[in-house]
Chain A
Amino acid sequence: MAVRLHPDADQLVDYSSGGLSPALCVSVSAHLHFCDACRLRNDQLAEIGGVLLEDVNPELLGECALDEVLSKLDENTDIASKVVTGPQDVEPELAKLPQMVRSLLPDTGPRWRFLSPSLRVSKIPVGETRYELSLHKIKAGGKTPDHDHNGLEVTVVLQGSFSDESGVYNEGDFIVRRPGEIHKPIASQHEECISLSVEEAPIRLVGPVSRFLNPFFSFNPQ
């Protein structure tokens, strides 16, 4: 199925030029995994970087620079021999997630926290303070609490699908929610839904259970 929702041009440009925050960077990467059209756009934007690189005035390096670099080339060659294990060994259902997402998860599997009977969340530390990245898993047919946002929220569907008042979202969809856009995601009936989420500030739950659930959403940047 074709991906329906994409990052906008500004986000792709900031991604390509290296300015996007790490958590958002991961969400765009996850989208690119599913979306050939945006991969093409991203390749085109990288070409701008290539052209600009060729266009600068070269700055001479120190006389010994090449020798120094040559002497370091044979160090640390263990990159290629990395053993391919991952969280999928513990949770086989994660095997279908994009490799770049799996590589961000601990080999022992994500540490899930139960936020409601149908919603589990696992934070992914990316070393930044403004945005928080996490993996969400909603049981098939599971409903999540209504929530609002204090800041930007980006969700990328990695597996399965979910819906809310505004539509159905499938694998690869890049869903942007802004403050005030309260929504209540529900996973599709036939399979669980795994998604990646970036939140700018703690989510505010609204409704009767919020008082109990809110502490779990405490903003705790790594």
Chain B
Amino acid sequence: MLVDPSRDEWSDLLSKVGMEKDKEAFSRLFAHFAPLVKGFLMKGSSFGHELAEELSQETMIKVWRKADSFNRQKSSASTWIYTIARNSRIDWFRREARRQRILEADDLYEQAEDNPAYLSLVQLRNQKSIQKNIKTLPQEQLEVLTKIYYEGKTHTEVAEELVLPLGTVKSRIRLALKKMNLQLEAEEK
């Protein structure tokens, strides 16, 4: 059985896929991340086994194709793969709604290479702090946060589903972000 490499090693593997199109490295990433992506998609209420399987394969193919845009200075492998899975889910919803599929989710999101002058300060340290603090969130905050992330629902949709005032959902999220040391309020200058 494979020994789990630490997160840094996942980033090594992903960089290797990006630079050398290394299928061996890809296979190891697949073994670790494909089941996580599938689990992630099934965590929400919308996806059954079959669909989650299809979308997690689609996600991993995109991981292969886009790996050269992975920047380890900017994010960890898991965060980067999360955004790919998120976009696959958006695309599925849009296909499903039978809307004209004019654009893909990738076209709607800002791409890092669009602004080369920018260098993010967020690195693994940040992720560790989120990881630690997320475990200490009160259940009601965690519930709202995971609904939003696992199911891709908006604040408004979560409020309707849980029969809560929108303001309550917003303040639970803000409290959760604060507990994870994420400062998101834009201060007016």
Q: Which single residue of chain B is at the shortest CB-CB distance from A29?
A: B110
Which positions 61-102 of chain B face chain A at CB distance < 8 Å? 61, 64-65, 74-76, 78-83, 85-87, 89-90, 94, 99-102
CB-defined contacts of A84 to chain B, threshold 8 Å: none
A48-B103 in contact (CB<8A): no
A52-B149 in contact (CB<8A): yes
B184-A12 in contact (CB<8A): yes
A222-B30 in contact (CB<8A): no
CB-defined contacts of B110 to chain A, threshold 8 Å: 28-30, 32-33, 39, 42, 98, 100
With A127-B101, A127-B103 given, is the CB distance from A53 to B40 under 8 Å? yes
Q: Which single residue of chain B is at the shortest CB-CB distance from A50?
A: B79
A48-B27 in contact (CB<8A): no
Give min CB distance, A185 to chain B, whole Å: 20
Q: Interface of chain A, helix or strand or loop or mixed?
A: helix
A17-B149 in contact (CB<8A): yes
B120 contacts which of A43, A56, A57, A68 (Cβ < 8 Å)?
Answer: A43
A33 contacts which of B107, B115, B184 (Cβ < 8 Å)?
Answer: B115
Q: Interface of chain B, helix or strand or loop or mixed?
A: helix
Q: Which single residue of chain B is at the shortest CB-CB distance from A79?
A: B65
Binding stretch for chain B, among A69-77, A142-150, A157-165, A207-215? A69-77
With A2-B189, A10-B155, A49-B79 given, is the CB distance from A69 to B57 under 8 Å? yes
Chain B CB within 10 Å — which of A46, A79, A222 has the most?
A: A46
Complex alpha-carbon distance, A14 and B156, angstroms: 10
B14 within 8 A of A: no
Which positions 15-57 of chain A face chain B at CB distance < 8 Å? 17-20, 22, 25-26, 28-30, 32-33, 36-57
With A19-B157, A222-B102 given, is the CB distance from A58 to B39 under 8 Å? yes
Q: Interface residues of A, CB < 8 Å — how many?
A: 69
B149 contacts which of A4, A48, A73 (Cβ < 8 Å)?
Answer: A48
A66 within 8 A of B: yes
A83 within 8 A of B: no
Give min CB distance, A204 to chain B, whole Å: 24
Complex alpha-carbon distance, A22 and B103, angstroms: 9
Q: Which single residue of chain B is at the shortest CB-CB distance from A104?
A: B107
Give min CB distance, A39 to chain B, whole Å: 6
Complex alpha-carbon distance, A106 and B125, angstroms: 42
A91 within 8 A of B: no
CB-defined contacts of A176 to chain B, threshold 8 Å: none
Complex alpha-carbon distance, A37 and B188, angstroms: 12
Q: A58-B39, A70-B27 are in contact. List 6 more A-B contacts (CB 8 A).
A: A4-B188, A6-B186, A8-B186, A19-B152, A52-B40, A69-B34
Q: Interface on B for A, CB 8 Å cutoff?
A: 23, 26-27, 30-31, 33-40, 42-43, 49, 52-53, 56-57, 60-61, 64-65, 74-76, 78-83, 85-87, 89-90, 94, 99-103, 105, 107-111, 114-115, 118, 120-122, 126-127, 130-131, 134, 145-146, 148-150, 152-155, 157, 170, 173-174, 177, 180, 182-186, 188-189
| The 10 A-B residue pairs with the shortest CB-CB distance in the complex, in nearest-first order | A50-B79, A58-B35, A6-B186, A49-B82, A29-B110, A56-B39, A19-B154, A50-B78, A18-B152, A9-B184
